[in-house]
């Protein structure tokens, strides 16, 4: 019973994490961090309005599911505490019975049957322990997968923000300070180190990709409806359909003081 309760708690934790991802996806798509940017966008079409209403419904459903999951978690935590109390009482009774058995058992046959019965219970206990370890390992793998998924999503958003800011600065011909130039260099090295590109191309930042940030996962089974909030996968700047390490497009190189002076002489 305790193993079943722990399994339910693990599954509820994974489901709560999935609902948090759906809510985070909706907030990122609707520019919760930058509401002024959303207001400055032109009027959307009726199709966009319908899509927005669908997202609103999915968001409300995610919040309701999350509230239900939290209540279930509280109920199972209380049930687990009561089960642990019952388990302690059973252990105490078993200790008393174990002390009384040698006095009650008289013949060798009874002793042998008692030994076999104890062995069966030991094997069942080992089996339950192995099942518990498998459940814990499965939950840990899923939890790490969710963390990696969130990390890749945040990395993608960060790369897009940095690339767009840099493009705006170069379009406005803003002179880069020395400390910002050093930060760009470190950022470029970290990004290109994951692609295996040579150091000679560190003068180019990754492009503003046109890939969809959030997309349904292909790991969904056919029995589940394929909706955009069932599962979330990420495309990072280093991933692609053909596995190539070359960028599709490259922004212009960073403009430094030396480059500007050379252009002025020409």
pLDDT for the residue 54: 67
pLDDT for the residue 202: 44
Query: Cα separation of 7 and 253, whole Å?
Result: 53
As beta bridge partners, residue 234 has 214
Contact 3, 128 (CB under 8 A): yes
266, 214, 225, 235: which is closest to 28 by C-alpha?
A: 214
Q: What is the pLDDT along the chain (266 residues), one digit of tens a residue?
A: 777 777 778 788 878 877 777 777 777 666 544 444 445 455 544 545 555 566 677 777 878 888 888 888 888 888 888 888 888 888 888 778 777 777 777 778 878 888 888 888 888 888 888 888 888 888 788 888 888 888 888 888 888 888 888 888 888 888 878 888 888 888 877 776 665 555 444 445 544 444 444 444 444 444 444 444 444 333 434 444 343 343 333 444 544 444 444 444 44
As beta bridge partners, residue 215 has 233
At how many degrees (to 10) do helices 108-171 and 178-193 cross? Answer: 130
Token pair, residue 18, equals: 């999935």
Query: Cα separation of 58 and 23, whole Å?
Result: 9
pTM above 0.75, yes or no: no
Query: Cα separation of 158 and 195, whole Å?
Result: 17
17, 58, 21, 13: which is closest to 213 by C-alpha?
A: 21
Dihedral sign from CA coordinates of 51, 54, 59, 60: positive
């Amino acid at each position: 019973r305790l193993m079943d309760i722990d399994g339910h708690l693990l599954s509820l934790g994974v489901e709560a994490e999935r609902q948090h991802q759906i809510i985070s996806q909706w907030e990122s798509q609707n520019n919760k961090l930058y509401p002024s940017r959303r207001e400055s966008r032109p009027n959307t079409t009726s199709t966009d309005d319908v899509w927005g209403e669908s997202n609103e419904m999915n968001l409300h459903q995610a919040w309701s599911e999350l509230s239900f999951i939290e209540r279930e978690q509280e109920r199972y935590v209380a049930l687990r505490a009561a089960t642990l109390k019952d388990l302690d009482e059973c252990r105490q009774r078993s200790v008393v019975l174990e002390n009384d058995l040698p006095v009650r058992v008289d013949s060798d046959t009874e002793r042998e049957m008692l030994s076999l019965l104890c062995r069966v219970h030991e094997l069942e206990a080992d089996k339950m322990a192995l099942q518990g370890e498998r459940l814990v390992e499965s939950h840990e793998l899923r939890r790490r997968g969710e963390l990696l998924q969130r990390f890749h999503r945040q990395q993608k958003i960060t790369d897009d923000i940095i690339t767009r800011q840099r493009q705006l600065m170069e379009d406005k011909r803003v002179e880069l300070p020395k400390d910002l130039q050093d930060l760009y260099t470190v950022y470029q090295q970290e990004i290109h180190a994951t692609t295996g590109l040579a150091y000679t191309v560190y003068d180019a930042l990754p492009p503003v990709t046109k890939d969809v940030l959030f997309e349904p996962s292909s790991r969904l089974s056919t029995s589940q409806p394929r909706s955009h909030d069932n599962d979330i996968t990420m495309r990072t700047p280093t991933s692609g359909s053909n596995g190539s390490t070359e960028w599709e497009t490259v922004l212009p190189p960073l403009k430094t003081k030396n480059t500007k002076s050379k252009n002025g002489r020409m």
